[in-house]
Protein backbone atom coordinates (compact mmCIF):
# COMPACT_ATOMS: atom_id res chain seq x y z
CA UNK A 1 0.00 0.00 0.00
CA UNK A 2 1.31 3.37 -0.93
CA UNK A 3 1.28 5.72 2.02
CA UNK A 4 3.26 8.70 0.80
CA UNK A 5 0.40 10.43 -0.99
CA UNK A 6 -2.21 9.71 1.66
CA UNK A 7 -3.21 12.13 4.37
CA UNK A 8 -2.87 9.98 7.49
CA UNK A 9 -4.43 12.58 9.71
CA UNK A 10 -8.00 11.28 9.47
CA UNK A 11 -10.52 10.45 12.13
CA UNK A 12 -10.78 6.93 13.47
CA UNK A 13 -13.95 6.03 11.61
CA UNK A 14 -12.63 7.24 8.25
CA UNK A 15 -10.38 5.17 6.07
CA UNK A 16 -9.21 5.24 2.51
CA UNK A 17 -9.40 2.73 -0.29
CA UNK A 18 -7.91 2.57 -3.74
CA UNK A 19 -10.27 2.38 -6.67
CA UNK A 20 -8.15 1.45 -9.65
CA UNK A 21 -5.79 1.80 -11.42
CA UNK A 22 -7.17 -1.52 -12.65
CA UNK A 23 -10.88 -1.30 -12.00
CA UNK A 24 -13.64 -2.01 -14.51
CA UNK A 25 -15.61 1.11 -13.58
CA UNK A 26 -12.77 3.51 -14.23
CA UNK A 27 -12.64 2.39 -17.89
CA UNK A 28 -8.88 2.52 -18.08
CA UNK A 29 -5.92 3.16 -15.87
CA UNK A 30 -7.30 5.80 -13.56
CA UNK A 31 -6.67 5.54 -9.84
CA UNK A 32 -9.09 7.15 -7.43
CA UNK A 33 -8.14 7.61 -3.80
CA UNK A 34 -11.40 7.43 -1.89
CA UNK A 35 -11.66 8.66 1.68
CA UNK A 36 -14.76 6.96 3.03
CA UNK A 37 -16.74 6.74 6.22
CA UNK A 38 -18.54 3.44 6.08
CA UNK A 39 -19.89 3.58 2.57
CA UNK A 40 -20.26 7.37 2.43
CA UNK A 41 -17.68 9.11 0.27
CA UNK A 42 -15.85 11.96 1.99
CA UNK A 43 -13.34 12.75 -0.71
CA UNK A 44 -12.33 11.55 -4.16
CA UNK A 45 -8.87 12.31 -5.34
CA UNK A 46 -7.85 11.20 -8.84
CA UNK A 47 -4.29 10.06 -9.35
CA UNK A 48 -3.34 10.51 -12.99
CA UNK A 49 -0.46 9.84 -15.29
CA UNK A 50 -0.44 6.06 -15.69
CA UNK A 51 -0.49 6.34 -19.47
CA UNK A 52 0.74 9.88 -19.97
CA UNK A 53 2.73 10.01 -23.21
CA UNK A 54 3.42 13.73 -23.25
CA UNK A 55 1.81 14.21 -26.64
CA UNK A 56 2.15 17.99 -26.27
CA UNK A 57 5.93 17.68 -26.02
CA UNK A 58 6.08 15.24 -28.93
CA UNK A 59 4.11 17.71 -31.05
CA UNK A 60 6.82 20.32 -30.56
CA UNK A 61 9.23 18.25 -32.65
CA UNK A 62 6.73 16.84 -35.19
CA UNK A 63 5.41 18.24 -38.42
CA UNK A 64 1.76 19.21 -38.67
CA UNK A 65 0.90 16.12 -40.71
CA UNK A 66 2.42 13.92 -38.02
CA UNK A 67 0.56 15.66 -35.21
CA UNK A 68 -2.76 14.57 -36.70
CA UNK A 69 -1.79 10.95 -36.11
CA UNK A 70 -1.05 11.53 -32.45
CA UNK A 71 -4.45 13.01 -31.73
CA UNK A 72 -6.48 9.89 -32.31
CA UNK A 73 -4.53 8.26 -29.50
CA UNK A 74 -6.05 10.78 -27.11
CA UNK A 75 -9.79 10.25 -27.12
CA UNK A 76 -9.75 7.11 -29.24
CA UNK A 77 -13.56 6.97 -29.43
CA UNK A 78 -13.70 10.39 -31.11
CA UNK A 79 -10.59 9.92 -33.21
CA UNK A 80 -12.04 11.41 -36.37
CA UNK A 81 -13.16 14.57 -34.57
CA UNK A 82 -9.76 14.96 -32.89
CA UNK A 83 -8.06 14.72 -36.28
CA UNK A 84 -10.50 17.27 -37.64
CA UNK A 85 -9.65 19.71 -34.84
CA UNK A 86 -5.96 19.79 -35.73
CA UNK A 87 -6.66 19.93 -39.47
CA UNK A 88 -9.08 22.84 -39.01
CA UNK A 89 -6.53 24.75 -36.95
CA UNK A 90 -3.85 24.29 -39.59
CA UNK A 91 -6.23 25.09 -42.46
CA UNK A 92 -7.50 28.25 -40.76
CA UNK A 93 -3.95 29.36 -40.07
CA UNK A 94 -2.99 28.82 -43.72
CA UNK A 95 -6.33 30.33 -44.83
CA UNK A 96 -6.97 27.37 -47.11
CA UNK A 97 -10.30 27.18 -48.89
CA UNK A 98 -11.64 23.70 -48.18
CA UNK A 99 -13.98 22.09 -50.76
CA UNK A 100 -17.60 21.63 -49.70
CA UNK A 101 -17.35 17.91 -50.32
CA UNK A 102 -14.69 17.61 -47.65
CA UNK A 103 -16.72 19.61 -45.15
CA UNK A 104 -19.82 17.48 -45.64
CA UNK A 105 -17.99 14.15 -45.48
CA UNK A 106 -16.12 15.26 -42.37
CA UNK A 107 -19.37 16.19 -40.67
CA UNK A 108 -21.11 12.93 -41.59
CA UNK A 109 -18.21 10.83 -40.32
CA UNK A 110 -17.96 13.03 -37.24
CA UNK A 111 -21.58 12.39 -36.37
CA UNK A 112 -21.19 8.66 -37.06
CA UNK A 113 -18.25 8.75 -34.67
CA UNK A 114 -20.42 10.40 -32.06
CA UNK A 115 -23.10 7.72 -32.43
CA UNK A 116 -20.49 4.95 -32.24
CA UNK A 117 -19.02 6.49 -29.11
CA UNK A 118 -22.43 6.88 -27.50
CA UNK A 119 -23.31 3.26 -28.40
CA UNK A 120 -20.24 2.05 -26.60
CA UNK A 121 -20.96 4.38 -23.69
CA UNK A 122 -24.54 3.13 -23.48
CA UNK A 123 -23.43 -0.48 -23.37
CA UNK A 124 -20.83 0.18 -20.71
CA UNK A 125 -23.15 2.42 -18.73
CA UNK A 126 -25.66 -0.40 -18.41
CA UNK A 127 -22.95 -2.82 -17.44
CA UNK A 128 -21.60 -0.47 -14.76
CA UNK A 129 -24.97 -0.43 -13.03
CA UNK A 130 -25.50 -4.17 -13.47
CA UNK A 131 -27.38 -4.67 -16.75
CA UNK A 132 -25.18 -6.97 -18.81
CA UNK A 133 -27.34 -7.19 -21.93
CA UNK A 134 -26.83 -3.55 -22.94
CA UNK A 135 -23.19 -4.22 -23.69
CA UNK A 136 -24.05 -6.62 -26.51
CA UNK A 137 -26.75 -4.38 -27.95
CA UNK A 138 -24.47 -1.35 -27.98
CA UNK A 139 -21.58 -3.21 -29.57
CA UNK A 140 -23.82 -4.81 -32.19
CA UNK A 141 -24.85 -1.42 -33.57
CA UNK A 142 -21.43 0.13 -33.20
CA UNK A 143 -20.07 -2.70 -35.31
CA UNK A 144 -22.05 -1.47 -38.33
CA UNK A 145 -20.45 1.97 -38.04
CA UNK A 146 -17.00 0.46 -37.66
CA UNK A 147 -17.55 -1.52 -40.86
CA UNK A 148 -18.45 1.69 -42.70
CA UNK A 149 -15.29 3.31 -41.37
CA UNK A 150 -13.17 0.34 -42.34
CA UNK A 151 -14.39 0.48 -45.91
CA UNK A 152 -13.90 4.21 -46.38
CA UNK A 153 -11.08 5.15 -44.00
CA UNK A 154 -9.16 1.90 -43.87
CA UNK A 155 -9.31 1.66 -40.09
CA UNK A 156 -11.98 1.00 -37.53
CA UNK A 157 -10.90 3.07 -34.56
CA UNK A 158 -7.85 5.29 -35.11
CA UNK A 159 -8.86 6.41 -38.53
CA UNK A 160 -6.49 9.19 -39.62
CA UNK A 161 -8.86 9.97 -42.46
CA UNK A 162 -8.28 13.72 -42.19
CA UNK A 163 -5.18 15.41 -43.49
CA UNK A 164 -4.49 19.16 -43.50
CA UNK A 165 -6.22 20.23 -46.70
CA UNK A 166 -8.95 17.62 -46.86
CA UNK A 167 -9.35 13.87 -46.71
CA UNK A 168 -6.77 11.21 -47.38
CA UNK A 169 -8.94 9.41 -49.96
CA UNK A 170 -12.34 9.95 -51.50
CA UNK A 171 -15.27 8.10 -49.95
CA UNK A 172 -15.90 4.48 -50.90
CA UNK A 173 -18.61 3.94 -53.57
CA UNK A 174 -20.66 2.00 -51.01
CA UNK A 175 -20.46 4.76 -48.40
CA UNK A 176 -23.78 6.52 -49.06
CA UNK A 177 -25.72 3.27 -49.37
CA UNK A 178 -24.32 1.79 -46.19
CA UNK A 179 -24.80 4.95 -44.14
CA UNK A 180 -28.44 5.05 -45.23
CA UNK A 181 -28.84 1.42 -44.25
CA UNK A 182 -27.35 2.17 -40.88
CA UNK A 183 -29.59 5.19 -40.27
CA UNK A 184 -32.69 3.14 -41.08
CA UNK A 185 -31.46 0.31 -38.86
CA UNK A 186 -30.49 2.49 -35.92
CA UNK A 187 -33.80 4.35 -35.91
CA UNK A 188 -35.47 1.13 -34.88
CA UNK A 189 -32.80 0.41 -32.26
CA UNK A 190 -32.87 3.56 -30.10
CA UNK A 191 -36.47 2.83 -29.01
CA UNK A 192 -35.20 -0.64 -28.15
CA UNK A 193 -32.52 0.94 -25.95
CA UNK A 194 -35.23 2.94 -24.23
CA UNK A 195 -37.39 -0.13 -23.63
CA UNK A 196 -34.46 -2.11 -22.28
CA UNK A 197 -32.78 0.41 -19.99
CA UNK A 198 -34.23 3.92 -19.87
CA UNK A 199 -37.59 2.92 -18.45
CA UNK A 200 -36.15 0.25 -16.14
CA UNK A 201 -37.16 1.05 -12.56
CA UNK A 202 -33.92 -0.29 -11.05
CA UNK A 203 -31.87 1.77 -13.47
CA UNK A 204 -33.86 4.90 -12.69
CA UNK A 205 -33.42 4.41 -8.96
CA UNK A 206 -29.69 4.02 -9.43
CA UNK A 207 -29.39 7.21 -11.47
CA UNK A 208 -32.06 9.77 -10.55
CA UNK A 209 -30.88 12.35 -8.05
CA UNK A 210 -27.36 10.90 -8.08
CA UNK A 211 -24.31 13.08 -8.76
CA UNK A 212 -26.19 16.36 -9.11
CA UNK A 213 -24.31 19.18 -10.79
CA UNK A 214 -25.79 22.68 -10.86
CA UNK A 215 -25.55 24.90 -13.92
CA UNK A 216 -23.30 27.45 -12.16
CA UNK A 217 -20.91 24.72 -11.07
CA UNK A 218 -20.93 23.20 -14.54
CA UNK A 219 -19.73 26.50 -16.01
CA UNK A 220 -17.22 27.13 -13.23
CA UNK A 221 -15.72 23.65 -13.56
CA UNK A 222 -15.50 24.02 -17.33
CA UNK A 223 -17.86 21.10 -17.94
CA UNK A 224 -18.67 20.53 -21.58
CA UNK A 225 -20.46 18.07 -23.79
CA UNK A 226 -23.31 15.99 -22.36
CA UNK A 227 -22.04 16.64 -18.81
CA UNK A 228 -22.64 20.37 -19.14
CA UNK A 229 -25.85 19.99 -21.13
CA UNK A 230 -27.32 17.64 -18.53
CA UNK A 231 -27.20 20.61 -16.16
CA UNK A 232 -29.04 22.92 -18.57
CA UNK A 233 -25.84 24.65 -19.67
CA UNK A 234 -25.93 25.38 -23.38
CA UNK A 235 -22.37 24.50 -24.34
CA UNK A 236 -22.59 22.78 -27.72
CA UNK A 237 -19.68 24.02 -29.81
CA UNK A 238 -21.56 22.88 -32.91
CA UNK A 239 -24.22 25.50 -32.10
CA UNK A 240 -22.11 28.36 -30.80
CA UNK A 241 -19.02 28.09 -33.00
CA UNK A 242 -20.06 25.90 -35.96
CA UNK A 243 -17.31 24.38 -38.08
CA UNK A 244 -17.17 22.25 -41.27
CA UNK A 245 -20.73 21.75 -42.61
CA UNK A 246 -22.50 22.21 -39.27
CA UNK A 247 -23.72 25.68 -40.20
CA UNK A 248 -25.73 24.14 -43.05
CA UNK A 249 -27.81 21.77 -40.93
CA UNK A 250 -30.54 22.31 -38.38
CA UNK A 251 -30.56 20.35 -35.16
CA UNK A 252 -31.63 20.82 -31.58
CA UNK A 253 -29.14 21.07 -28.77
CA UNK A 254 -29.98 18.26 -26.34
CA UNK A 255 -30.59 19.94 -22.99
CA UNK A 256 -31.80 18.62 -19.65
CA UNK A 257 -32.10 20.66 -16.49
CA UNK A 258 -31.98 18.11 -13.67
CA UNK A 259 -28.18 17.88 -13.66
CA UNK A 260 -28.15 14.34 -12.27
CA UNK A 261 -26.83 11.12 -13.72
CA UNK A 262 -30.14 10.32 -15.40
CA UNK A 263 -30.21 13.75 -17.10
CA UNK A 264 -26.76 13.17 -18.59
CA UNK A 265 -27.97 9.76 -19.75
CA UNK A 266 -30.99 11.32 -21.46
CA UNK A 267 -28.84 13.95 -23.16
CA UNK A 268 -26.72 11.27 -24.82
CA UNK A 269 -29.76 9.29 -25.98
CA UNK A 270 -31.24 12.50 -27.41
CA UNK A 271 -27.92 13.33 -29.07
CA UNK A 272 -27.99 10.06 -30.98
CA UNK A 273 -31.32 11.12 -32.52
CA UNK A 274 -29.91 14.54 -33.39
CA UNK A 275 -26.82 13.03 -34.97
CA UNK A 276 -29.04 10.77 -37.10
CA UNK A 277 -30.96 13.85 -38.21
CA UNK A 278 -27.75 15.69 -39.17
CA UNK A 279 -26.56 12.68 -41.19
CA UNK A 280 -29.91 12.44 -42.97
CA UNK A 281 -29.79 16.09 -43.96
CA UNK A 282 -26.34 15.72 -45.51
CA UNK A 283 -26.10 12.20 -46.90
CA UNK A 284 -28.17 12.80 -50.06
CA UNK A 285 -26.40 16.03 -50.90
CA UNK A 286 -22.70 15.30 -50.77
CA UNK A 287 -21.34 17.87 -53.24
CA UNK A 288 -19.16 16.73 -56.12
CA UNK A 289 -15.59 17.92 -56.21
CA UNK A 290 -12.10 17.35 -54.98
CA UNK A 291 -11.53 15.44 -51.76
CA UNK A 292 -8.49 17.51 -50.84
CA UNK A 293 -6.63 20.62 -51.82
CA UNK A 294 -2.90 20.54 -52.28
CA UNK A 295 -0.71 21.84 -49.51
CA UNK A 296 3.04 22.19 -49.38
CA UNK A 297 4.82 18.97 -48.46
CA UNK A 298 6.35 20.87 -45.56
CA UNK A 299 3.64 22.90 -43.88
CA UNK A 300 4.83 26.05 -42.16
CA UNK A 301 2.23 28.04 -40.27
CA UNK A 302 2.57 31.82 -40.19
CA UNK A 303 3.80 33.40 -36.99
CA UNK A 304 0.98 33.76 -34.53
CA UNK A 305 -1.45 31.94 -32.29
CA UNK A 306 -4.33 29.78 -33.46
CA UNK A 307 -7.18 28.26 -31.52
CA UNK A 308 -9.88 25.90 -32.72
CA UNK A 309 -12.58 24.23 -30.68
CA UNK A 310 -14.70 21.29 -31.79
CA UNK A 311 -17.36 19.17 -30.13
CA UNK A 312 -16.19 15.61 -29.63
CA UNK A 313 -18.44 12.92 -28.20
CA UNK A 314 -17.20 13.95 -24.74
CA UNK A 315 -17.34 17.71 -25.05
CA UNK A 316 -15.22 20.62 -26.08
CA UNK A 317 -11.79 19.82 -27.47
CA UNK A 318 -9.57 22.86 -27.96
CA UNK A 319 -6.37 22.97 -29.98
CA UNK A 320 -4.11 25.91 -29.18
CA UNK A 321 -1.07 26.35 -31.42
CA UNK A 322 1.63 28.95 -30.93
CA UNK A 323 3.67 29.15 -34.11
CA UNK A 324 6.93 30.98 -34.71
CA UNK A 325 6.76 30.40 -38.46
CA UNK A 326 8.69 27.13 -38.56
CA UNK A 327 7.55 23.64 -39.57
CA UNK A 328 6.87 22.64 -35.96
CA UNK A 329 4.59 24.31 -33.46
CA UNK A 330 6.41 26.23 -30.74
CA UNK A 331 3.80 25.12 -28.25
CA UNK A 332 0.70 23.04 -28.74
CA UNK A 333 -1.91 22.59 -26.05
CA UNK A 334 -4.88 20.24 -26.15
CA UNK A 335 -7.73 21.34 -23.97
CA UNK A 336 -9.35 17.97 -23.52
CA UNK A 337 -12.95 17.61 -22.39
CA UNK A 338 -12.28 14.63 -20.11
CA UNK A 339 -9.75 16.54 -18.04
CA UNK A 340 -12.19 19.27 -17.05
CA UNK A 341 -15.03 16.79 -16.61
CA UNK A 342 -12.91 14.69 -14.27
CA UNK A 343 -12.10 17.72 -12.13
CA UNK A 344 -15.72 17.94 -11.00
CA UNK A 345 -15.95 14.28 -9.94
CA UNK A 346 -15.02 15.06 -6.33
CA UNK A 347 -17.58 17.86 -6.18
CA UNK A 348 -20.55 15.76 -7.30
CA UNK A 349 -19.76 12.48 -5.57
CA UNK A 350 -18.98 13.62 -2.01
CA UNK A 351 -21.79 12.54 0.31
CA UNK A 352 -22.90 9.72 -1.99
CA UNK A 353 -22.19 6.01 -1.81
CA UNK A 354 -19.52 4.08 -3.66
CA UNK A 355 -22.19 2.53 -5.89
CA UNK A 356 -23.33 6.02 -6.82
CA UNK A 357 -19.79 6.95 -7.73
CA UNK A 358 -19.74 4.12 -10.27
CA UNK A 359 -22.97 5.36 -11.85
CA UNK A 360 -21.72 8.95 -11.83
CA UNK A 361 -18.44 8.03 -13.46
CA UNK A 362 -20.29 6.11 -16.15
CA UNK A 363 -22.13 9.25 -17.25
CA UNK A 364 -19.02 11.43 -17.12
CA UNK A 365 -17.91 9.03 -19.88
CA UNK A 366 -14.22 9.41 -19.18
CA UNK A 367 -11.65 8.15 -21.65
CA UNK A 368 -8.37 8.03 -19.78
CA UNK A 369 -5.93 8.65 -22.68
CA UNK A 370 -7.88 11.85 -23.29
CA UNK A 371 -7.12 12.96 -19.73
CA UNK A 372 -3.55 11.73 -19.66
CA UNK A 373 -2.71 12.91 -23.20
For 50, list phi and psi in degrees, rounded to 5. -65, -30
C-alpha distance from residue 334 to each of 70, 86, 185, 206, 231 (Å): 11, 10, 36, 34, 24
Give min distance, CB of 169 to another protein, in A: 28
How many angstroms separate the CA atoms of 340 and 336, rounded? 7
Nearer to another protein, 210 or 332 (CB): 332
Measured CA angle at 26 (ends 22, 31), to 5 deg: 60
Task: Pick one of 240, 296, 298, 326: the residue that binds another protein (CB under 8 A).
Answer: 240
If binding is defined by CB under 8 A, does position 236 make contact with another protein? no
Q: Are 252 and 278 in contact (CB under 8 A)?
A: no
Give 232 or 355: the residue with its C-beta nearer to another protein.
232
DSSP assignment of 191-251 equals HHHIIIIIT-HHHHHHHTTSS---HHHHHHTT--THHHHTTT----HHHHS--TTTTSS--
How far apart CA 106 and CA 167 sit, in angstroms, is 8
Number of residues that bind another protein (CB under 8 A): 39
Rounded CA gap, 48 and 54, in Å?
Answer: 13
Site for another protein in 213-232 (CB under 8 A): 217, 219-222
Give the residue from 268, 236, 276, 241 showing the smallest Cα distance to 253: 236
Contact status: 306 vs another protein (CB under 8 A) = yes
Out of 202, 285, 303, 326, which residue is the one contacting another protein (CB under 8 A)?
A: 303
Secondary structure percentages of the chain, helix, strand, coil, to 5? 50, 15, 40
Between 130 and 302, CB nearer to another protein:
302
If binding is defined by CB under 8 A, does position 234 make contact with another protein?
A: yes
Which residue in 152, 168, 170 sits closest to 160, CA to CA?
168
Q: Where are the alpha helices (DSSP H) in 72-200?
A: 79-94, 100-128, 133-153, 175-193
Please give the torsion angle defined by the CA atoms of residues 6, 13, 260 and 371, in that order, rounded to the nearest 10 degrees: 10
Residue 233 binds to another protein (criterion: CB under 8 A): yes
Q: In this chain, which stretch among 22-30, 115-123, 124-132, 334-342 interacts with another protein, using CB under 8 A?
A: 334-342
Which of 281, 240, 236 shows the shortest CA–CA distance to 255? 236
Residues 295, 339, 350, 355: which binds another protein (CB under 8 A)?
Answer: 339
From 21, 56, 180, 242, residue interacting with another protein (rule: CB under 8 A): 56
Residue 147: CB minimum distance to another protein, A: 36
**Nearest distance from C-beta of residue 48 to another protein, angstroms:** 5
Q: Find the part of the chain contacting another protein (CB under 8 A) among 100-108, 189-197, 287-295, 306-314.
A: 306-314
Q: How far is the CB of 101 from another protein (least distance, A)?
A: 26
Residue 92 beta carbon to another protein: minimum distance, rounded to whole angstroms: 8
Give the one residue of 76, 135, 273, 320 binding another protein; rule: CB under 8 A: 320
Q: Are 32 and 50 in contact (CB under 8 A)?
A: no
Return the residues of window 31-50 that contact another protein according to CB under 8 A: 48-49
Whole-number minimum distance, CB 91 to another protein, in Å? 13
Q: Is 57 in the site for another protein (CB under 8 A)?
A: yes
Given candidates 38, 191, 289, 304, which one binds another protein under the rule CB under 8 A?
Answer: 304
Question: What is the spatial distance between Cα 327 and Cα 307, in angstroms, rounded to a whole number?
Answer: 17
Provide the binding-site residues for another protein, judged by CB under 8 A.
Answer: 4-5, 48-49, 52, 54, 56-57, 61, 217, 219-222, 233-235, 240, 302-307, 309, 316, 318, 320, 322, 331, 333, 335, 339-340, 342-344, 347, 372
Amino acid sequence: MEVTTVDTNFKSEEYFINMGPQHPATHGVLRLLLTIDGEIIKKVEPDLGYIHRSIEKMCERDSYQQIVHLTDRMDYLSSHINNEAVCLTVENALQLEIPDRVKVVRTIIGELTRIASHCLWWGVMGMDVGALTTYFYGFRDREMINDIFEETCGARLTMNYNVPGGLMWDIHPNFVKRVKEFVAHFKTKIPEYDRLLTGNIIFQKRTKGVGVLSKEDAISFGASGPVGRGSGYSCDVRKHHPYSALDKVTFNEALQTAGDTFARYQVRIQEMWESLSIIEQLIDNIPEGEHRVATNAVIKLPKGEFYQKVETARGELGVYIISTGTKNPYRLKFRSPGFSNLSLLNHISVGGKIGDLVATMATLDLVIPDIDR
